[in-house]
Amino acid sequence: MGREIRKWVVVCMVVVLVVNLRHIGAQGQPQVPCYFIFGDSLVDNGNNNNIASLAKANYMPYGIDFPRGPTGRFSNGKTTVDVISELLGLGYIPPYATARGRNILRGVNYASAAAGIRDETGRQLGGRISMNGQVNNYKNTVSQIVNILGDEASAANYLSQCIFSLGLGSNDYLNNYFMPNNYPTSRQFTPEQYADVLIQQYSQQIRTLYNFGARKLALTGVGQIGCSPNALAQNSPDGRTCVQRFNNANQLFNSRLISLVDNLNNNFPDARFIYINAYGIFQDMISNPASFGFRVTNAGCCGVGRNRGQITCLPFQTPCINRNAFLFWDAFHPGESANIVIGRRSYSAQSASDAYPIDIRRLAQL
């Protein structure tokens, strides 16, 4: 009798083990086959490394907390899209500069530091790949995917299941509109007109991506550039109060971006467009820093001058020790701790305002 009981116990344990292994396997499957990323230095992961540009981050202490060290990411560790990609089950997505062969089927990161919606944006920093350039690079990738999968229909079906992240506009303000000595745009357009011009051009670029297979698109709004250490160092009398004219301009752009999402969803019923409220998520971290573990919100962990934000992080400069306590890593960019918050809330909204009309997690399920 005892032998029979032991036999059944062993059988039950094996069944439980098999069920658990199957569950783990199911959980480990990517939620989408691929992830394509368009943007600027907030999500660049190496596309600027080998071009003639001042906008580079392929040196220490950038990447000091990243497993692969300095890769070109403008962070001490992960970027927001690294976090989102991990949550999607895809791991790190390769930059266009190094993506080769069947590896592109998992997705490609086209982002380029200093890039803007407008082609001239960021030119004072040297080489960069504008959104138009990134769209052209994506077209090249689509041609390769058609060759790999055998025909356009197979490629179209494959791409329709992928997530596309877009996050541009910051540089069109920081490295264009609010640099009157370098660019004429602030004399040509009111903030309202400039937001309209940007959205009009962005809309055309997004429609091109749609024409080349994109069907699940997450459009990230511009964050609070008026609260960066650089903006505070240059334009805030007390070094703490955010520069409202910068943020007001951002909000004009973001409100139009939400309207664009509605417009695109109405015009392209076979696709789904969503808005990620980076501005609002950032506001939470600035308003309630302690609840996120931040003690310093107005200075960079690595930088030079007032607010450690007048000159950005220099090669082999010694950064702050308590990096998780700083909202900003350098003069312009959030640190890994902030990127994790933004990435997680972009993927799975914690409040109704984080994503509109749905978050990336639900977008992946469509």
Q: Which residues pair with 216 in a beta bridge?
A: 272
The set of residues, in sequence order, having a beta carbon less than 8 Å from that of 85 and lying 6+ positions away, is 35, 91, 92, 93, 107
219 and 271 Cβ atoms separated by less than 8 Å: no
**Cis bond upstream, residue 319 (ω within 30):** no
- DSSP calls for 226-260: GGSHHHHHHH-TTSSS--HHHHHHHHHHHHHHHHH
The whole-angstrom separation of Cα 65 and Cα 98 is: 22
Residue found under tokens 């076979």: 270
Distances (CA, A) of 349 to 82, 86, 276, 293: 17, 16, 9, 20
Token look-up 């011009």 returns 197
Tally Cβ neighbours within 10 Å of residue 74. 25
Sign of the alpha-carbon dihedral angle for 52, 55, 60, 63: negative
Closest-CA residue to 206 (of 85, 38, 35, 343): 38
Q: How far is CA 319 from the centre of its chain?
A: 23
* Helix or strand (DSSP H, E) at 336: helix 336-347
Q: Which of 41, 53, 85, 228 is catalytic?
A: 41
Active site residue 151: no
Please pick, among 53, 85, 333, 359, the residue that the annotation labels catalytic. 333
Q: Give catalytic status of residue 330 as yes or no.
A: yes
- 23 labelled catalytic: no
C-alpha distances in Å from residue 195, one per residue of 112, 113, 169, 242, 313: 21, 21, 9, 20, 30
Selecting among 284, 330, 354, 359, the annotated active-site residue is: 330
Catalytic center residues: 41, 330, 333
